[in-house]
Every structure is written in C-alpha cells, then in structure tokens.
Structure 1
Amino acid sequence: MVDSLCPTPSGSSAQSHADRVLLNLGRRLQAQGYRFITPTPLTHQRVMARWDNAPASDTRGIFGWSRPFDAEVFEAAERQELQQAEIIVKTHGRWRSRVRWSNLGPLLLAHSAFPTEAADAVFFGPDTYRFASVIEESLRQRFAPIRRAVDIGCGSGAGALLVARARPDAEVLAVDINPKALRMSAVNAELANAPNVSVYHSDVLDGVDGRFDLILANPPYMKDSQQRSYRHGGGELGEALSLRILREALPRLERDGTLLLYTGVAMVDGRDLFLESARALLSSDAFGWTYHELDPDVFGEELEKPGYERVERIAAVALSVTRLS
C-alpha cells in the first residue's frame, strides 16, 4: 500500500489506487461472508504454532491469521493487482498479506497484519472489542443529541464508525497522527457506508477546531522500549498520553458532552496511579464522571519486560466524563 502511506489533506476523501484496491478486497470478503475475530498476540502465536508455517489456503488464513500462502491461491491478475498495491508481498519464497481484516459486529475493518512490529502499525485487537462495548453502552444510555463527535487516535476507525452508524446525522471526525491509520479509517468508513465520517491528521485535538458532544479515545498505554506510536503511552508506565487526552479534551466538550476514555493502567502496590492523577483534573464541579475497571489483568506478559518490575498487573479501565455546565 505505498500510495496509502502518503498523507492526504485534512478531511480529504480522495482515494489512491491502492486504497481502491483495498476497498474492493474488503467488498469481496464481505460478499463471501468472511468472518474473523482478532485474539491477543499470545493467542495468535499459539494458534500459529499449530500450523508450523504451513501455507494457508483460505481467506481467513491469509487475511485473518496472517499466514503465508502460495501464489496459486489467487488468479494471476488479482495477485498482480494486490502486489502492485502492496497489500501482499513475497518473502522467503511465499506470499503474505500486509493487511489484516477483522470483524466488529457488522463492521469489517482493515488494519495491520500480524505481527504488528512496525512503528506505524494500525492496531486492532481485544482492546478494540472492549472499547466498542463501552461506546455502545454509552450510546444506549445517552439521550442528549450528538451533533459532533471525534475519535482521538482512531487507528482503524472502529470507534468513529460505531458512533457514525448509530447517529447517522452526526458529524464524526476520525483523527490520528499516523497517515496509515487515516487511510485505513477512510477505506473502512467507505466499506461501512458511513459518509458522515471524515479523517483528519491531528495530534490529539491540535489539528481540529471547535467543541464536541462526544469525544472517544482508546490510546496506547504500554511502556514500549521502541516507542512505537500504536503501543507507547509515554510517562513512567504508559500513562502520559491518556492523561494528556483527558486534560486537553475537557475544555473541548460542549455542555452535556461526554469524554469516553478507554485505557490500560499499570497497578503499583495496589495503587491506581492513573486515577490518582485524573482526580486532580476532575476536581471541578463542572464535570461529572464515572470510572470502571473492565478487566483486572490484561497483557500480563508485559510484566516480564524492563520498566515493569514494580507493576502487579495491568488493568483495562473506562473513564466517562460529562460536562455539566
């Protein structure tokens, strides 16, 4: 997807040839009834080990499990088209997809293939499914209108698309610092028939104007030694970006507007250091908020890495903040 990695003007709907090839691939997979639910990286590794690098022969193996495949799987013309768009590449005598397709309810979403090692990888996984549940529950309980919404660090655009489909009259912005994420979000929005989604290059909310009735964020929260943008949250234990989003989103909320922040928290000596810092930002009577621990233990393998020596567990949490006045 060489063309797809190039930045586009903010809000542009222009598509490169590579994006159109990716969109057409998604449409073919939809028509074929393709289904794939993305597991954790460790589960993926364990399942992959069963095949011992044997080639895939179906679309779930190629575009879900990111398995290698032989040239004969595709007709020559289709293989050439996918290769020219750099959706598939040849390595060590076999072909692999650089793109993965996953389902989220009725949505089919393109994101980066496994393993997500590149600095500009577009993430999708169990965190996305938990984030989606938080969004859907909030939308069910919300009676105030949503005229304008934004998904910060949109990645595949999953959050933005859930809101756009549930509130088709809303203007929904999908923003990210990663050009590849913006391209995939735009393709996914067209595949989902969500014309009310626009993509913008923005560092948190720096690149967009105005206030919002709903602000979504599912930021990276790991302490990543390589500082890859899709994983690294910054700060001592990955909390910095989540706190920055909270700090910068609050003044951008309309009255009755809500921030939904899904993140992960490194627990140290029984203390939630993120919540302790967040309380200081939420002391004003102008805001009401709730905080829930959704999963007490995620990505336990990270505790073996440098920097996590004092961490007991990493918890998935959801913070909902509403401007009252």
Structure 2
Amino acid sequence: MMNVTTSTADAAVPHAPSTRPEDGAPARPDAATAALLELGRALQAAGYRFTTVTPATHNRVRARAEHVWARDLCDVFGWSRPFHSDAVPPDILRLMQAAGIAQPHRDGWRCTLRVSELGGQLYFHSAYPTADADAVFFGPDTYRFGRALQRELADMKALGRTVQRAADVGAGGGPGAATVALACPDAQVYALDINDKALRLCGVNMQLAGATNVDVRRSDLLNDIDGELDLIVSNPPYLLDPSERAYRHGGGELGAGLSLSLVGQAVTRLAPGGTLLLYTGVAMRHNSDPFLAAVTPLLDGLTWTYEEIDPDVFGEELDTPAYQDTDRIAAVWLKATRPRH
C-alpha cells in the first residue's frame, strides 16, 4: 500500500530525479539526500538483496532469542536489527551517519530505514516497525502489485500500445513509478504522493533505478496535475487503521474509500485508449464482494476486468473490532480502459 490521503497540497518536490519543464535545471540535493543516494549505490555494488515480509512474519523472525544484534547488511537494512559498528563496512556506516539514518541504540546503532529489492532494483522505505504516521510502506502487497504491473506492461508492449503520460498515484517509495518508467522509457511518468518522507525517498529510489523520466510531485490523488493520462497505476491504502496512518488507512466503508475515490477520478482523466491499473484489498463479507458492487457503476462506458489475485491477505486484521463481520481480506486487480472512440 502506498501513501495517499484526501488533503490537498501543491508544493513541488525538491528531490525529484527529473524536473518539470518549467522548472529548468534540477535542484541540488541536500547533503543528507546525496549521502543516502551514495549509500544506495554502495549497497547495489555490494550485491545487497532483501525481500520484505509481512509485519507478523517480521516480528516472529526478530523475536528469535538466538540472534538479537545484527550480523550482516541484511540484518541492518532488512530486519531492522540494532548493530555494532563492526557489523557494517566503515564506508557504509559513514554514509548512514551522513544521511542521518544511523540512530544511536544502547552501545551501537539502529538504521531508521529499510532497503528492499524488487525487479532487480533497490528501494529505501521505513524501518520496522512502521508505527509513524508518515511511514513509507513496502511489503508483500508491493511484490504482488509489481508482478501484476509487469505482466500488464508486457502485454501492452506486445500489442504495440504506447504510453506518453502515466501516473503512479500514492507512489510511496516509487516501485510502481519505476516499473512503468523503465518499461516505457519514452513516457513522462508522474510519481504522486502527499507524504514528504515518501516523496524524498521516492526521488532517491528513482535515481537508484535509473528512472530519469519520472517527475516526483506532491499531489492529492490526481488533483494537482493537469491533462489526460495514457496510464494510471495505484496501490492505495485499503485497511481500516485505528491510528489512521496514511500508508494503511483507506477510510470509507471497510477501507475502500480511497480506492473508490481514485477510480471515480481516474475514469475522467484517462485519454482515449488509456488504462487504469488498480491493486487494492477488499474486505469480503458474507461471501460477497462489496467493493465490486460499489465500483461497478463508476466504470460505466469503460472496458474492464476484475481479478482476485490473492484470496487471503492480512488475516490478523480479522481479530480487530473493525473486521468482526468480515470473512477475509482479498487482494484484487482492476483493469479499466477507455475506448478510443
């Protein structure tokens, strides 16, 4: 789930890897952001890889008594374990300190970010646990979203469909935007979010990926960019979070609020032949799909398909009061295309 909300802001993002045409030359990144980018490149050179698991699995692994302090880079940047200075190469620690992500912890340190791999690229995102209101999400949903997106982009290429303007709405750390940008190098891709921390990390992640055709911007859904789009992709928050953290809380009925708002807006912004690709979660009730019932009227006049790609995600949420009348939470994939004529 990426970070979106319904509050509006219109400031430009200072750390984007590319700029709007009217902005001129890119702004020079600050020293901490430059150090974070250099750190990412050092991890790439070291062959670092880590796959992010669910919070429940992460907690189980971290709780193992036989291993508390980090032993290697994956423990530091993946499992969010505290570490002593000798657990990482000196140049890595220097860059962490320069980037401001090495937090003192007892007689050692703790990294305030994680780094995960998807599709051969590395992405900075929030450390475990993601308790902060402005946490930047990356997890199993990101992998499902990424795989489905890669499949659709490959199909579009095989059909000769071109993309000139695309947007990843609620981009978070930017894996969706990078996937589109690398698959469509001639397209202008917008990575949109309202979370300042997400926008900063997204800018760094786009540079790490070599996605030079991405414009990282602050936007409430699509409200702060103009014009039609050939492709809109999104993995918005879809849970009911008691703390209403931006990266988790979807609002509305059973967390579907943001997803429905995005669909309602996106169908008015698609260019002829343009496509919306939405990955979201649905709280299934009494063996029925309330999101499908709510979204169907919004898709009038479009050609669309709807697929349940994982029948059971975030099962632990069923123990919370908000989901006492829910059978399961499923991950679904919506593809909607505006006819050319």
Fold conserved between structures, TM > 0.5: yes
Residues 69-95 of structure 1 deviation map (CA, whole Å, 9 limit, x = unaligned): 013334667535523432110133331
Out of 151, 163, 169, the position equivalent to 2:168 is 151
Structure 1 equivalent of residue 307 of structure 2: 292
Q: Distance in 2 between matches of 1:321 and 1:55?
A: 48
Structure 1 equivalent of residue 265 of structure 2: 248
Structure 2 equivalent of residue 175 of structure 1: 192
Structure 2 gaps of 5+ residues are 1-10, 20-25
Q: Distance in 1 between matches of 2:136 and 2:67?
A: 24
Out of 194, 200, 205, the position equivalent to 1:188 is 205
Please state how far the C-alpha of 1:53 moved relative to its aligned partner: 5.8
Please state how far the C-alpha of 1:270 moved relative to its aligned partner: 1.1
Structure 2 equivalent of residue 102 of structure 1: 116
TM-score (normalizing by structure 1): 0.94
| Aligned-pair Cα RMSD in Å | 1.7
Relative contact order, higher structure (CA 8 A, sep 6+):
2
Q: Distance in 2 between matches of 1:167 and 1:77?
A: 35
Q: Which residue identity lines up with residue 308 of structure 1 in the other structure?
A: Y
Please state how far the C-alpha of 1:260 moved relative to its aligned partner: 0.3
The structure-2 alpha-carbon separation of the partners of 1:37 and 1:275, relative to structure 1 and needing over 3 Å to count, comes to same
Q: Which residue identity lines up with residue 275 of structure 1 in the other structure?
A: L
Residues 76-125 of structure 1 deviation map (CA, whole Å, 9 limit, x = unaligned): 67535523432110133331111111000211111111111101001001
CA contact (8 A) 1:68 1:96 kept: yes
Residues 184-236 of structure 1 deviation map (CA, whole Å, 9 limit, x = unaligned): 11101111111101100000001111111000010000000000000000013
Q: Distance in 2 between matches of 1:196 and 1:79?
A: 31
CA contact (8 A) 1:10 1:200 kept: no
Please state how far the C-alpha of 1:47 moved relative to its aligned partner: 1.2
Q: Distance in 1 between matches of 2:190 and 2:91?
A: 36
Structure 2 equivalent of residue 131 of structure 1: 145
The structure-2 alpha-carbon separation of the partners of 1:213 and 1:7, relative to structure 1 and needing over 3 Å to count, comes to closer
Structure 1 equivalent of residue 40 of structure 2: 26
Structure 1 gaps of 5+ residues are 1-5
- SS of equivalent to 1:229: coil
Out of 54, 57, 60, the position equivalent to 2:74 is 60
- SS of equivalent to 2:318: helix
Please state how far the C-alpha of 1:9 moved relative to its aligned partner: 5.0
TM-score (normalizing by structure 2): 0.89
Structure 2 equivalent of residue 79 of structure 1: 93
Q: Distance in 1 between matches of 2:254 and 2:185?
A: 38
CA contact (8 A) 2:115 2:125 kept: yes
CA contact (8 A) 1:53 1:68 kept: no
The structure-2 alpha-carbon separation of the partners of 1:60 and 1:167, relative to structure 1 and needing over 3 Å to count, comes to same
Q: Distance in 2 between matches of 1:71 and 1:7?
A: 37
Structure 1 equivalent of residue 297 of structure 2: 280
Q: Which residue identity lines up with residue 179 of structure 2 in the other structure?
A: L
Q: Distance in 2 between matches of 1:9 and 1:68?
A: 31
Structure 1 equivalent of residue 58 of structure 2: 44
Out of 221, 232, 237, the position equivalent to 1:220 is 237
- SS of equivalent to 2:63: helix
Structure 1 equivalent of residue 127 of structure 2: 113
Q: Distance in 2 between matches of 1:20 and 1:157?
A: 18
Please state how far the C-alpha of 1:46 moved relative to its aligned partner: 1.2
Question: Percent of pairs identical after alignment?
Answer: 51
Structure 2 equivalent of residue 315 of structure 1: 330
Please state how far the C-alpha of 1:140 moved relative to its aligned partner: 1.3
Give 4+ residue runs of structure 1 displaced > 2 Å after superposition. Answer: 6-14, 71-85, 91-94
Q: Distance in 2 between matches of 1:27 and 1:76?
A: 15
Please state how far the C-alpha of 1:18 moved relative to its aligned partner: 1.1
239-248 vs 130-139, which moves further: 130-139
Q: Distance in 2 between matches of 1:45 and 1:303?
A: 18
The structure-2 alpha-carbon separation of the partners of 1:279 and 1:202, relative to structure 1 and needing over 3 Å to count, comes to same
Out of 275, 278, 287, the position equivalent to 1:258 is 275
CA contact (8 A) 2:39 2:92 kept: no
Out of 181, 185, 206, the position equivalent to 1:164 is 181
Q: Which residue identity lines up with residue 293 of structure 1 in the other structure?
A: E
Q: Distance in 1 between matches of 2:103 and 2:218?
A: 27
Structure 2 equivalent of residue 3 of structure 1: none
CA contact (8 A) 2:54 2:139 kept: yes
The structure-2 alpha-carbon separation of the partners of 1:115 and 1:243, relative to structure 1 and needing over 3 Å to count, comes to same
CA contact (8 A) 2:42 2:92 kept: no
Structure 2 equivalent of residue 8 of structure 1: 13
